[in-house]
A and B are shown apart, each in its own frame.
Chain A
Amino acid sequence: MSGLGAFWGLYKREVVKIYRRAFALVMTFMQPIIWIIFFGSSLNGMPREYLVQFFGTPNYIGFVLPGQLATSMLSTGTFSAMSIVWDRRFGFLKKILVTPAPREAVFFSKVAGAVTRGLVQVPVMLAAALAFGVALPLDPVGYLEWIAALMLLGIGFSSIYLAVAMKSSDWQHPQLVANVMNLPLMFTSTALFPRTFYPAWMRAIADVNPITFATEIGRGVVLNDPYTPTLLGYLAAFAAASMAIGLLVARRFMTAE
C-alpha cells in the first residue's frame, strides 16, 4: 500500500527533525520540570495536615506530576499545528501533494510525529520526579495504561489543533491558538488542584476535560490509588472523535495553496 509507505517516510522525517532540533526538544522539557521545581519548593514548608487535607496526599509532587504530564500533552497540539503551518509556508506541503501520497498519510504523520515528541517527555519527567525524591511505585501495567492515556490525549489534541491550523500559512496562528486554549484547558482540569474545591461550573467542565482523565490515571499509578479502566475508554473515544474530525478537515482542506 502506497499510503503506508508515504506515512512511514513522512513520520521518519518528523522524528529526524525532533532530534536534529535537540535544543527545541530540551526547551519543551523545561517547562514541566520548572513547574515541578517551583510547585515543589513553594509547598515544601506547608504543614503536612494541610497538604493531606487539600491534595488528599502529603506527596504533592506525586500529585502534580501526572497533571503536568497530562498538560504537557497539549504541546503535541502546538507541535502538529506548527509543523503543518511551516510545511505550507515553505512549500513543502506542495512537494508532498505533487506526489500520489494520500492526504491521510500526511495527517497521520503529523499526529504521530507530535505524539512521539510529546511522549519523549514522559521518561524525562519521571526521572526528574525521582530526582526530587518522589517514590514511584513498581507497577508495569499501570505505567502502560498511563502511557496509553497520554498517547490518546496526544492523538486527540494534535488532531484537533491540526484541523484548526489546516488552512493557515501564518506561523503565529498555532501559538495564538495555544495561548487561548492551553491555560483554560489546564485550569479546568484536575491537573493542578483537586476538584473538591472547584465551583460547580468548573467541576462540570473538569468532569469532561480529557486532561482530567489522563491525570487521574497517572495519579492512580503514582499514588497507588485504584482507578476505573473506563477512564481509558473515555480517552480512546476522545482520540477517535478528534481524529475523525481532523481527517475530515484534512480531506477537505489540505490543499497546496
Chain B
Amino acid sequence: MNGNAIEVLDLVKRYGNVTALAGVTFSVSRGEIFGLLGPNGAGKTTTIKILTGLTPPTSGRAYVAGFDVVRQPNEVKRRVGWVSSEVILDDDLNAWENLELQARLQGVRNWRERATELLKYFDLLQSAGRPVGGYSTGMRKKLEIATALLHSPEILFLDEPTIGLDVNARAMLWDLIRTVNREFGVTILLTTHYMEEADALCNRVAIINLGKIMALGSPAELKSSVGGEVVELEIERPVDLSALKRLPDVLDVAASDGKIRITVRKADETIPAIVKSLDFSAVKSLKVEKPTLDTVFMKLTGKRIEESHVDYRRFYAMIRRSRR
C-alpha cells in the first residue's frame, strides 16, 4: 500500500455543544514518529479515537493505512495498535492471558511465538505468569505496548505514553518507542503535553490547542520559527554596540537596564564573533536562551503548555490503587 500512513482532512468532532476538534488537517508519512503536542482538552485523545475507529467524526475525512476510518473501520482496526493514556489491562489476568485475549480479538495465529518474542524484547518474560495487577506502572505500560504490537500493526497510536512515569521509566520508554519505530518499522502517532518528549522523539510535531492545529513541522523548524536563539549579556557599564549590530548573523539587539539581548540564528556559532565585537571586560555574565517547543506554544497562544496542563501522575496512581 503506498501513500501516507495517516491522512486527515478537516476533521470536526462535537460532543453536544463542546467542539473537541474544530477542523484539523494533517498527514503522517510511513515510518514517521509524529507528535500531537497540546494542553488538556486540546483534542489529542479525540483525534486518536477517530483515527482508531472508536468514535465517528462529526464531519471531515480520515484515512489510516489507506482506508477510510468511517467506511472501512475493520480494515483500519486490523492495521493499527492503540495504547491508551490510562493503562488498560485486565488485572485479574497474567501477561500471557492478556496477550492471548488480544491475539484472539485480532485473529492472530501462532500468537505464542510472537508473544514470547515481545515479552523477551520488553523484558517481561520472567513476570509473565503473574497477574498484571501486581505489576509496576512501567511494566504495565510496556505490556500494554506489547499487546498493541502483537498483531504487527502498521501504525501505533500512543496516547500520552509517558504520563505517570518517573524519569527513568520515561527514558526507558523513549528508547523503546524509538526502537519499535526503527526495528519493527511501525509508524507512530503519539500525543503528549511534554514539550521535551515531542522534541526528543518526533520527526514532526503538530501543536494543537482548542481543537485546532496551531503549527506543524519538525521540532527544529518550529523552534526556528519563533526567531532564533537569544544571547543575553549582563554588563557593568555601557558599551559600544555598533560593531555588534553589524555582524551578519545577528538578527536583533535590544539593550535595557544593564542587559543586552542579542537574537541570533545559532548561538554556539555566533558567540565568538559577539565576544570580539564589543568590550568584553564590561560583561559580568552570559546566558543563552534556546527556544523550546514551549516557547513556540507560548508565542502562538500566550500560555505555557505545562502551566495549562494538570499533572495527572498522582491522580492516575490514586485511581490504580483504588482499583485493586
A residues at B contact (CB < 8 Å): 2, 5-6, 8-10, 12-13, 16-17, 20-21, 90-92, 94-101, 255-257
Contacts and interface: CB of A to CB of B under 8 A. Distances in A.
Contact of A256 (B54, B101, B104): B54
Nearest to A95: B88
Contacts of A6: 104-105, 107
B323 interface: yes
Nearest to A5: B104
Interface residues of B, number: 27
6 contacts: A5-B105, A90-B323, A91-B86, A99-B105, A100-B107, A101-B105
B309 to A, nearest CB: 21
Contact of B106 (A12, A99, A256): A99
The 7 closest A-B CB pairs, nearest first, are A9-B104, A99-B105, A256-B54, A100-B74, A2-B107, A91-B88, A101-B105
B49 A16 contact: no
Interface string B83-104: 0101010101100010011111
Given A9-B105, A90-B88, A101-B105, A257 B55 contact: yes
B90 A256 contact: no
Contacts of A20: 92-93, 131
Contact of B77 (A5, A92, A100): A100
A13 B101 CA distance: 7
A59 B192 CA distance: 69
Nearest to B75: A100
A94 B88 contact: yes
B92 A100 contact: no
Nearest to B147: A95
B78 interface: yes
Given A16-B92, A16-B97, A90-B323, A96 B54 contact: no
B53 A13 contact: no
Interface of B: 49, 52-55, 74, 77-78, 80, 82, 84, 86, 88, 90, 92-93, 97, 100-107, 131, 323
B147 to A, nearest CB: 8
A99 B102 contact: yes
B101 A12 contact: yes
Given A6-B105, A92-B88, A98-B82, A16 B54 contact: no
Given A20-B92, A95-B84, A99-B77, A257 B104 contact: no
A240 B54 CA distance: 30
Given A5-B104, A6-B104, A97 B54 contact: yes
Contacts of B101: 9-10, 12-13
Nearest to B97: A16
Contacts of B52: 98
Contacts of A100: 74, 77-78, 105-107
A54 B126 CA distance: 63
Nearest to A91: B88
Contact of B97 (A13, A92, A96): A13
A182 B104 CA distance: 35
Chain B CB within 10 Å, residue with most, of A21, A94, A256: A94
A2 B219 CA distance: 42
Contact of A13 (B74, B90, B107): B90
Nearest to A6: B105
A166 B215 CA distance: 40
A253 to B, nearest CB: 14
Chain A CB within 10 Å, residue with most, of B88, B102, B104: B104
Contacts of B106: 99-101
Contacts of B103: 9
Contacts of B53: 97-98
A17 B88 contact: no
Chain A CB within 10 Å, residue with most, of B49, B74, B106, B323: B106
Contacts of A5: 104-105, 107
A16 B88 contact: no
Contacts of B82: 95, 98
B229 to A, nearest CB: 42
